[in-house]
């Protein structure tokens, strides 16, 4: 691991404040990053205080004045070069993501691939920031709309995807002409610093103004500063619903914009017409991948009563084959939770299930021993529950899969929709009518609805986000770029008279 840290230019004592080209130690408290894999100290970061924060935002304000005037295709080419840098350092950064966050190495590498993919997407987008033209009701007039950069984009990211979510926002914002100030999770600061180091050469060789890429490592107070700062027109925040409500209230109170990607309580419906050999691996991956710490994790499995026992038995068998341990070992399927607080949340949820009368098809357990020395490893479990129980209605960031029976598809869809969150959903069925009903206006109320694939694994090309308490934001592909720009309608009179709209007459 030390070799990787050296390649990414991360020393044991590092800097948590950056404006893209300049990096310096903050004046706030020291943050230590411990790996949930083995409990060892990876490095320490000097966090930001308010003065540091204002310095970074001030640099961003000045950089925006220059960056917005760079032609969009040129900005796209700079992003293309960044994609090449991330290709170069994919193994090192992916390994660090795995070690600092705890997800499997394949998932860590996949997260860096998401950065590469969004860079590719943003390059093409830089030549497609389209506006519309409209016919005017007034003679010798032309109407059209165009999109302009919005300014500073504040980005608050979570520990579970410590680099990918930053890139979804940043690469699109950059080609749109915005500048970014990033507050990463204080639980995964080193991966954020590594991203800044990786792009330094590109920024320097292209004479990008200092302040285009800002990084501020710190705790909750930094997110509060971003949310209340009138200099920042858009705050994109990923995290819990509780956090998102606070951000949304603060940003909305100053009439700013917020892009919120919050909690998920995702369900898969397994029809009696499902292809079970297709469904079982998707369910298991969705439920235990990243140790249940994805916003798209499969948390509820809604199974037709006629196949309920069969599906349960197949899942129990599959869970018996799971290998839990060091995520850097490619043979292991499941790594640790992020910290001891997450373990306590897991224990609290399983205790509530038991208190409410739920039973476990696969028993929960906190793992101990030499291979689990960090104290953050837990056994993925399966519980038989009722959908309306408070613990089921709540998102627990841990590998707990809830099994629920249904009789009719209408009932299954109502169960799927019957939670406060609305991010991802899926149905496994070979019945065309069931699939179409699930995707119809009377079907899933989530931002993502899949047929014959699981709830996890969204692709860059589609806009990512959800409804209800998930926040309503959209990041990444499709037309998500519009969130990072302001729309302007233009009317041009190329005639010699001044007709008014709606036929209004005004004569002097």
pLDDT at 15: 75
Same domain, 353 and 416: yes
pLDDT at 62: 98
Whether 11 is covered by a domain: the verdict is yes
Look at the alpha carbons of 318, 110, 213, 476 in this order and tell me if their dihedral is positive or negative: negative
Same domain, 303 and 414: yes
Same domain, 250 and 274: no
Q: What is the DSSP secondary-structure string of 458-506?
A: --TTSEE--EETT-S--EESTTGGGGGEEEEEEEEE-SSS-PPGGG---
Q: Per the residue annotation, which of 114, 261, 395, 434 is the catalytic one?
A: 261
Q: pTM (2 decimals)?
A: 0.96
pLDDT at 393: 98
Same domain, 166 and 123: yes
Alpha carbons 389 and 387: distance in angstroms, whole number: 6
- Told to judge if 261 belongs to the known catalytic residues of this protein, a careful annotator would answer yes
Whether 508 is covered by a domain: the verdict is no
CATH of residue 109's domain is: 3.40.605.10
- 500's tokens: 């008014």
CATH of residue 334's domain is: 3.40.309.10
pLDDT at 20: 75
* Residue 225 belongs to domain spanning: 2-262+471-488
Same domain, 40 and 139: yes
Number of helices and strands in the chain (H, E):
15, 26
pLDDT at 221: 96
Same domain, 25 and 165: yes
Task: Name residue 144's beta-bridge partners.
Answer: 133, 490
pLDDT at 13: 56
Same domain, 245 and 270: no
Question: Could you give the strand order of the β-sheet that contains 30-34, starting from the edge strand earlier in sequence?
Answer: 13-15, 41-46, 30-34
Same domain, 21 and 97: yes
- 53's tokens: 């924060």
Helix (H, G, I), strand (E, B) or coil at 201: helix
Same domain, 258 and 280: no
pLDDT at 19: 75
Alpha carbons 330 and 306: distance in angstroms, whole number: 37
The length of the chain, given as a count of residues: 508
Number of domains observed in the structure of the chain: 2
Same domain, 199 and 285: no
> By the 8 A CB rule, do 90 and 96 touch?
no
- 308's tokens: 């309920």
Same domain, 196 and 126: yes
> By the 8 A CB rule, do 18 and 215 touch?
yes
Whether 425 is covered by a domain: the verdict is yes
> Taking the chain (508 residues) in consecutive chunks of 10 residues, what is each chunk's mean pLDDT?
87 70 80 96 93 96 98 98 98 98 97 98 97 96 98 98 98 98 97 95 96 96 98 97 97 98 97 98 98 98 98 98 96 97 98 98 96 96 98 98 98 98 98 98 98 94 97 96 98 95 89
Domain final residue pick, 422, 451, 480: 451
Minimal CA–CA distance to 72: which of 495, 484, 504, 498? 484
Whether 464 is covered by a domain: the verdict is no
- Angle made by CA atoms 457, 328, 160, in degrees to the nearest 5: 45
- 450's tokens: 């899949």
Whether 502 is covered by a domain: the verdict is no
Q: Identify the residue whose tokens are 């709540």.
A: 394
> By the 8 A CB rule, do 142 and 135 touch?
no
pLDDT at 83: 98
> By the 8 A CB rule, do 8 and 93 touch?
yes
Phi/psi of residue 133, each to 5°? -115, 145
Whether 463 is covered by a domain: the verdict is no
Whether 148 is covered by a domain: the verdict is yes
Phi/psi of residue 52, each to 5°? -60, -45
Minimal CA–CA distance to 324: which of 425, 399, 239, 237? 399
- 146's tokens: 């165009």
Provide the 10 A C-beta neighbour count for residue 471: 27
Phi-psi region of 232 (alpha: psi -120 to 50; beta: other; left: phi over 0): beta
Q: What is the DSSP secondary-structure string of 244-276?
A: HHHHHHHHHHTT-EEEEE----EEEEE-TT--H
> By the 8 A CB rule, do 275 and 376 touch?
no
> By the 8 A CB rule, do 13 and 196 touch?
no
Residue 96: C-alpha distances to residues 34, 36, 117, 162, 390 (Å): 12, 12, 19, 10, 36
Whether 382 is covered by a domain: the verdict is yes
Same domain, 228 and 278: no
């Amino acid at each position: 691991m030390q070799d990787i840290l050296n390649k990414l230019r991360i020393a044991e004592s590092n800097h948590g404040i950056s404006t893209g080209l300049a990096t310096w130690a903050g004046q706030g408290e020291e943050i230590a990053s411990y790996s949930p894999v083995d409990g060892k100290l990876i490095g320490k970061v000097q966090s930001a205080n308010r003065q540091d924060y204002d310095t970074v935002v001030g640099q961003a304000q000045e950089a925006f004045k220059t960056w917005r005037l760079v032609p969009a295709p040129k900005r796209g080419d700079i992003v293309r070069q960044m994609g090449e840098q991330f290709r170069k350092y994919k193994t090192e950064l992916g390994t660090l993501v795995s070690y600092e966050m705890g997800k499997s190495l394949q998932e860590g590498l996949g997260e860096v691939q998401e950065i590469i993919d969004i860079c590719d997407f943003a390059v093409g987008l830089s030549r497609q920031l389209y506006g519309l033209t409209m016919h005017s009701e007034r003679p010798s007039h032309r109407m059209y709309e165009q999109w302009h950069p919005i300014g500073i984009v504040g980005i608050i990211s979570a520990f579970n995807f410590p680099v990918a979510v930053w890139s979804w926002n940043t690469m699109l914002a950059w080609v749109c002409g915005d500048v970014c100030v990033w507050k990463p999770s204080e639980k995964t600061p080193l991966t954020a610093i590594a991203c800044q180091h990786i792009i330094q050469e590109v920024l320097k060789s292209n004479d990008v103004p200092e302040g285009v890429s800002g990084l501020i490592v710190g705790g909750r107070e930094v997110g509060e500063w971003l949310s209340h700062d009138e200099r920042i027109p858009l705050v994109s925040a990923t995290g819990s619903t509780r956090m998102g409500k606070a951000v949304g209230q603060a940003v909305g109170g100053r009439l700013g914009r917020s892009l919120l990607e919050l909690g998920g309580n995702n369900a898969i419906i397994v029809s009696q017409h499902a292809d079970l050999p297709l469904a079982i691996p998707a369910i298991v991956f969705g439920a235990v991948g990243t140790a249940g710490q994805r916003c798209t994790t499969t948390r509820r499995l809604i199974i037709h009563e006629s196949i309920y026992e069969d599906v349960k038995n197949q899942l129990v068998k599959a869970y018996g084959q799971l290998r839990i341990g060091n995520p850097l070992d490619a043979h292991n399927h499941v790594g640790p939770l992020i910290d001891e607080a997450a373990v306590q949340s897991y224990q609290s949820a399983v205790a509530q299930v038991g208190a409410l009368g739920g039973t476990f098809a696969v028993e929960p357990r906190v793992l101990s021993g030499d291979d689990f020395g960090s104290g953050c490893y837990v056994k993925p479990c399966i519980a038989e529950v009722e959908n309306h129980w408070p613990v089921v209605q709540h998102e627990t960031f841990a590998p707990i899969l809830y099994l629920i029976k249904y009789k009719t598809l209408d009932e299954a869809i109502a169960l799927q929709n019957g939670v406060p969150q609305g991010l991802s959903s899926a149905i496994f069925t070979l019945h065309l009518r069931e699939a179409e009903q699930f995707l119809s206006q009377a079907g899933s109320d989530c931002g993502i609805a899949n047929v014959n694939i699981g709830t996890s694994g969204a692709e860059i090309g589609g806009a990512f986000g959800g409804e209800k308490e998930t926040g309503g934001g959209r990041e990444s592909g499709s037309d998500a770029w519009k969130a990072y720009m302001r729309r302007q309608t233009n009317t041009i009179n190329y005639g010699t008279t001044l007709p008014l709209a709606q036929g209004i007459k005004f004569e002097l």
